[in-house]
Every structure is written in structure tokens, then in C-alpha cells.
Amino acid sequence: MRTIQLIDRKGKIRKGRKVVVTTTLNSNIHEVWQRIQNVGTLVKICKPMARFTPYNGEMPTSWGIDRSYDFNLYFHCILPVGKHTIRIEGMNEQTHEIQSREYNTLVPIWNHLIKIESVDGKSVRYTDEIELYAGVLTGFVAWWSSHFYRHRQKRWAVILRK
């Protein structure tokens, strides 16, 4: 984790943190890329550290570029955080990267970049890069996030084995 400068939605400069978590998954890049575009994959890989339910209406099935998605977010599946918004800024099939800008009441800046790189035909390097700001809770949220994304990557390995 390192300290970085971020700009919030109102243009104000904030002192945030960057968290980077990487793992190697036993799968080909095409399978991981197809699964990552499914909103249901997010739900599966986050449990039990976090739970997402639709904020209004039904759960979307897939992510779309330049679209925002509102969810009810629960830490450890039971502690309500409130509304969490995920805006997908980009999904690049050539570079296998997804960029989202996210926020909620507790964490007003949560920028998430997912990178998937082929190591060989049988494995991929999967990286989560998170830039976040949460006021006085920034250090704690960054610490929690590093554990959360390690958990997500372990869940990815389980899902890909099935």
C-alpha cells in the first residue's frame, strides 16, 4: 500500500491509498474474461466478506461500458453500508482490462482497475489495483481492501476449478 493523491467527484484533491493484489489463476484468459463480465461472478467472489444486492429493481446480468449500477452493500454479508455505486468506465477486450469508478457514503473514492494477462495457455495473472479515499478511515479501509481482494482472488480460483 502506498499513499497517493486522488481527485474526488467535486474536483478536490484527497490523500488516498493504492492497494495492488495479484495472483496466478489456472485458467485461460478467454474463460476469465467471459466470467468477469457477468455480475453474478462479482456476487460469488465477494462472499462472505461482502454482499451486493440490487438497490432498486433487479440484479443486472452483465456489465456495460459507461453505465452505473447501484447496489446495497453489506460488509461480511450482514453489516449494511448503504448504497454502493459502480460505474464501468471501460472494458478493453484487447488488453483485458476493466476500469470502474465506485463510491459509497463511507468510501467516496474507490477506483478499481482489473488486469488479466495470459502467462501461457493454461494460466493468467490477475491483478486488482484499487485507489481509494475514506477520510480518517482511509488506512483502515485500505488494510481491509487488501484482505478483501486476496479473498476475492482465492474465490476466483475456486470458481474456476468448478
For the segment 58-73, the average pLDDT, to the nearest whole number, is: 96
For the chain, the domain total comes to: 1
Whether residue 146 is contained in a domain is answered as: no
pLDDT, one tens digit per residue, over 81-111 is: 999 999 999 999 999 999 999 999 999 999 9
Whether residue 65 is contained in a domain is answered as: yes
- Considering the entire predicted model, what is its pTM? 0.94
Whether residue 20 is contained in a domain is answered as: no
Whether residue 45 is contained in a domain is answered as: yes
Whether residue 78 is contained in a domain is answered as: yes
**Distance between the two ends of the chain, CA-based, in angstroms?**
32
Whether residue 156 is contained in a domain is answered as: no
Tell me whether residue 142 is exposed, middle or buried, using C-beta atoms within 10 angstroms of its C-beta: 0 to 12, 13 to 18, 19 or more.
buried
Residue 53: domain span: 28-119
pLDDT of residue 162 exceeding 80, the answer is no
Residue spans of beta strands (DSSP E) within the chain:
2-7, 13-25, 50-54, 67-75, 79-92, 97-104, 109-120, 123-133
